[in-house]
Amino acid sequence: MISFLHIEPVCVGAFEDNAPPWRNDPLWQAADSTMAYLVRRHWQQLYQVNETADQIKNMLASIDAPLDRLSRETCAQCPAPCCLVADVSYDFRDLLFIHMTDQAMPPGQPRRTTGEVCRYLGGEGCLIPRQQRPWICTWYICAAQKNYLASCHEISRTKLQSVIAEIRILRKQMETLFIATVA
Ligand code: SF4
């Protein structure tokens, strides 16, 4: 069990700086263990957060296949795919979501320093399930993808955008509820 004497400095290091946070292994592990501790300690009171996280999980599952298809159709032709060049990172809500849905924490931020290729990029695309990826990997739809969607009859752009908008709201709610509970 982690004591409050240990938690206090860890919380400061893990949650104060948000731009981008927890890039080295000790900070990442501190964020992980702090979140795990808070979730464990307040689990009984976190049922609404848990329900919200489950809702998000189901909604992510509902758009996984169309988004995978969209990536397959567009990213291969892109001269600068996000997974190679974009500086994506996990944020507080990502970590909270992973913990509240009882998933394994990925080993660290996608990049330790700016300019690195995402560590989760494999030969066939992303190596981790959508529910474990940073949220930005799901919500960001680039101009080329929007163009593709405009002429694609198999994937509904409107549905994708409305699910993404709803998840965005739920993530905010999940965070607000969590902070109100543990504060
Ligand atoms: S986590 Fe996956 S989807 Fe996101 S940038 Fe890395 S390889 Fe791409």
Tens digits of residue pLDDT in 88-142: 999 999 999 999 999 999 999 999 888 889 999 999 899 999 999 999 999 999 9
Q: How far is the CA of 85 from the centre of ligand 1 (A)?
A: 10
Residue 55 corresponds to which tokens in the numbers above?
């809702």
Determine the Cα–Cα distance for residues 61 and 131; give it in Å rounded to an integer: 8
DSSP state of 125: E
Q: How far is the CA of 84 from the centre of ligand 1 (A)?
A: 8
pLDDT at residue 164 is higher than 50:
yes
Mean pLDDT for all residues in the chain: 90
Which are the contacts of 129, defined by CB distance < 8 A and separation ≥ 6?
none
Residue 27's nearest CA partner among 82, 93, 95, 86 is 95
Instruction: Convert the pLDDT of each residue in 69-87 to its tens digit.
Output: 999 999 989 999 999 999 8
* Residue whose CA is at the smallest distance from ligand 1 atom 5: 83
8 A C-beta contact, residue 30 and residue 130: no
Closest atom of ligand 1 to 133 CA is 1
| This prediction's pTM | 0.88
Residue 81 corresponds to which tokens in the numbers above?
């795919």
pLDDT at 114: 80
CB environment 78-98: b (16+ within 10 A), e (fewer): eeebbbeebebbbbbbbbbbb
Q: How far is the CA of 183 from the centre of ligand 1 (A)?
A: 32
